[in-house]
Amino acid sequence: MTKVSFPGDKAWFVSPDSKYGLSKEPAKNITDGDFSFLAKIRVNWDLMNPDNSTREGGVIIKNGLHMGLSVIKPDHDHIYVKGTVWTIDASLGPNGMKNYDILLKINWEPGDHEKDYEVGFSFKKNEKEFSVYCNGTWLTESYEGTLIDYSNAWLWVGACNPLESCPAEFRQFFNGDVYKIGVFNKALDKEEIIEIYKDFKNVSKRLKPVGLYDFEKITPYKALDISGNGNHLVLFDVTWMDSI
């Protein structure tokens, strides 16, 4: 199985808009309604220290007040897949914002920390709820308010925000391997996520894929979007960001 390794200082991204207008489904629109993120990963938990900034690593994230999927090791005994949303909540004042997390524990049995994980994040706008999936387990949380505007945020794989403008402790690089990434304009349910992982190369259009990446067709700087929408993943490199 093809994979991309993330050593704790590497990230890929999809910019909000294609520079040449080649995207059929611009990433800036993903969070306008219902959406989902999927990732098949293996985590190097041994390189995560609960006492410093390596305790959490972004898997697939919209940056700002970071929203999406990450993995976290808050102490030496527990590891989790984490889903996060931030909302504007009028009950907290005109500029009030609130954070909601789902922590899905994944180390129940010996050897669980060495497994591959098929993970997912599903967001339902009208129902005001989001869910996290991992290897058949599904948790849902309700939220209040409205999701903050992420239309200008970048979609990151392998970090929460590696830009130099972001404080180092909030860049949150991922340590491990990524086999597959999927982005969808639909709140996928548990059965649909299982369906997608069974045949990732042939995802039905009814599931509204925006970007699909299996890393089988890759250059040193780009990974092909096999959904056909033109949202290719680009390797983050500060030396040539101005050309994006």
Q: Where are the domains of the chain?
A: 4-243
In a structure prediction context, what are the per-residue pLDDT tens digits for the chain, which is 244 residues long?
899 999 999 999 998 766 555 677 777 789 999 999 999 999 999 999 999 999 999 999 999 899 999 999 999 999 999 999 999 988 887 778 999 999 999 999 988 899 999 999 999 999 999 999 999 999 999 999 999 999 889 999 999 999 999 999 999 999 999 999 999 999 999 999 999 999 999 999 999 999 999 999 999 899 999 999 999 999 998 655 544 4
- Helix ranges restricted to H, the chain: 190-198
CATH of domain 4-243: 2.60.120.200
Q: How far is CA 37 from CA 111, 155, 184, in A?
A: 26, 10, 6
> How many CA atoms, within 13 angstroms, populate the side-chain half-sphere of residue 195?
11
Distance between alpha carbon 75 and the CA centroid of its chain, in Å?
Answer: 22
Distance of alpha carbon 71 from alpha carbon 57, whole angstroms: 5
